[in-house]
């Protein structure tokens, strides 16, 4: 009986990787609308909103990719990246509030290569599910990253939900 009570109270952790794309907000919305409310009665569900900032060194590595930026431009990009964190988390919070779903919500901001940080966070938290958009990862995706969702689907141990934005379908 004690065991049953313990099982009932088990915490379920859902990590949603968010970025400034419409797609990641859609993935969050999909998660809130489709994950079981049955579970909510039995378990303590925590939604972890994870945003990954590129490391400062990423900006200078853009030079190597053929982009030549002045120091001012790099400083401006760093500032922009910091502002994005706030903006993305605010949007994510609004999507959550709008859904009417009740979960514990935590916000985490990581720094580094998105695919590594996401996989590492999922593993560290022993997350039950990872939800993310299908396309790159934000502003820097085209220059720096391959497919983050591909990498995460291969490397994390929990179920991975890859969500495509309907507007981006059939492109």
Task: Give the residue, chosen from 33, 60, 87, 104, that forms a contact with its own copies under the rule CB under 8 A.
Answer: 33
Q: Cβ closer to its own copies: 62 or 132? A: 132
CA dist., res. 130 & res. 139, Å (int): 21
Q: Measuring CA to CA, which residue among 122, 110, 171 is closest to residue 151?
A: 122
| Whole-angstrom distance, CA of residue 106 vs CA of residue 74 | 30
- Cα–Cα separations (whole angstroms), residue 41 to 10, 12, 44, 124: 11, 12, 8, 25
146 near its own copies, rule: CB under 8 A? no
**Does residue 166 belong to the site contacting its own copies (CB under 8 A)?**
yes
Residue 24: CB minimum distance to its own copies, A: 13
> Under rule CB under 8 A, how many of the chain's residues touch its own copies?
26
- Select 33 or 61, whichever has its Cβ closest to its own copies: 33
Q: Is 21 in the site for its own copies (CB under 8 A)?
A: no
Binding residue (CB under 8 A) for its own copies from 85, 109, 125, 161? 161
Identity of the residue, 35 or 59, whose beta carbon is nearer to its own copies in the bound complex: 35
- Cα 148 from chain centre: 10
Q: What is the DSSP string of 119-134?
A: HHHHHHHT-SEEEEES
Cross-strand partners of 12:
45
Residues that bind its own copies (CB under 8 A): 27, 30, 33-39, 129, 134, 149-150, 153-154, 157-164, 166, 169-170
């Amino acid at each position: 009986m004690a065991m049953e009570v313990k099982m009932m109270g088990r915490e379920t952790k859902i990590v949603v990787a968010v970025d400034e794309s419409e797609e990641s907000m859609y993935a969050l919305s999909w998660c809130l609308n489709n994950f079981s409310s049955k579970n909510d009665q039995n378990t303590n569900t925590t939604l972890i909103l994870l945003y990954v900032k590129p490391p400062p060194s990423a900006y200078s590595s853009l030079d190597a990719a053929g982009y030549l930026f002045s120091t001012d431009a790099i400083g401006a990009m760093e500032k922009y990246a910091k502002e994005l964190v706030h903006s993305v988390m605010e949007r994510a919070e609004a999507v959550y509030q709008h859904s009417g779903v009740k979960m514990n919500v935590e916000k985490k901001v990581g720094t580094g290569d998105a695919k590594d940080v996401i996989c590492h966070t999922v593993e560290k938290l022993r997350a039950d599910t990872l939800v993310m958009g299908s396309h790159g990862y934000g502003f820097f995706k085209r220059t720096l990253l391959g497919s983050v969702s591909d990498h995460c689907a291969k490397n994390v141990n929990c179920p991975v939900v890859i969500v495509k934005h309907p507007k981006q379908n059939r492109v």
